[in-house]
Amino acid sequence: MKKILSAFLLLYFALSFSQEKKPMFWQDIQNFKKADQENPPPKDAILLIGSSSFTKWTDVASYFPGKTIINRGFGGSRMTDLNDFADDLLSPYQPKQIIIYCGDNDFADNHDLKAKVVVNRFKTFYKKIREKFPTIEVDFISIKYSPSREVLWPQMKETNKKIAAFMKKEPNAEFIDITKAMEDSNGNVRRDLFVEDMLHLTPEGYEAWAKVMQPYMK
């Protein structure tokens, strides 16, 4: 009877473990791994890491002729997710440059979040990068103003300010500010650079980003 009970308990725990809920974005990471198996990533590429503004930039390479780019953006990701999956996002690659766009989803996920929390999350990820790649160029694209997230902009703006100050002190690091490039002559955000959701970018929006990014691309 004890053997039967033990076998039942083992089966129960095995089934429970197999049905355990996978962490958010687990499938995205598996997709990256599959892509790397099918097409081994090149060395000395520019590695993009971040959220949907990168995910949806599917033709990013066409904006930067002559540059080898690996896009590892996954939609909805926050700084916390970059930290959680840091090893999966960094270890498979040998880039010459890493460019990060992330942070706005942290605030969308928690409207009460303060800038210093997101800045510290970024610093944690930056440290993880430097542990693996001490000397390569690491850049951060400023969190963009999105009309659909206007209420969150004050904390996003403060986050940009603090990360810019941090990056200024770091060697081989740059803060790429795309804010002005997305404004009209009156200093208002150009809504025509966004698709209908007023969050994600049109090709013209990405063109505005590319013009600012071009001088930083290694």
Mean pLDDT in residue range 192-207: 96
pLDDT > 60? residue 2: no
Q: What pLDDT is stored for residue 15 in this prediction?
A: 42
Q: Is the pTM of the predicted complex or chain greater than 0.85?
A: yes
Q: What pLDDT is stored for residue 17 in this prediction?
A: 43
pLDDT > 70? residue 14: no
Residue ranges per structural domain of the chain: 36-216
- For the stretch 37-70, pLDDT in tens is 999 999 999 999 999 999 999 999 999 999 999 9
Mean pLDDT in residue range 162-181: 98
What is 36-216's CATH number? Answer: 3.40.50.1110
pLDDT > 50? residue 114: yes
Mean pLDDT of the chain: 92
Give the confidence band of 20 by pLDDT, cuts at 50, 70, 90: low
Q: What pLDDT is stored for residue 13 in this prediction?
A: 45
HEC letters along the chain: CHHHHHHHHHHHHHHHHHCCCCCCCHHHHHHHHHHHHHCCCCCCCEEEEECHHHHCCCCHHHHCCCCCEEEEECCCCCHHHHHHCHHHHHCCCCCCEEEEECCHHHHHHCCCCCHHHHHHHHHHHHHHHHHHCCCCEEEEECCCCCHHHHHHHHHHHHHHHHHHHHHHHCCCEEEECCCHHHECCCCCECHHHECCCCCCECHHHHHHHHHHHHHHCC
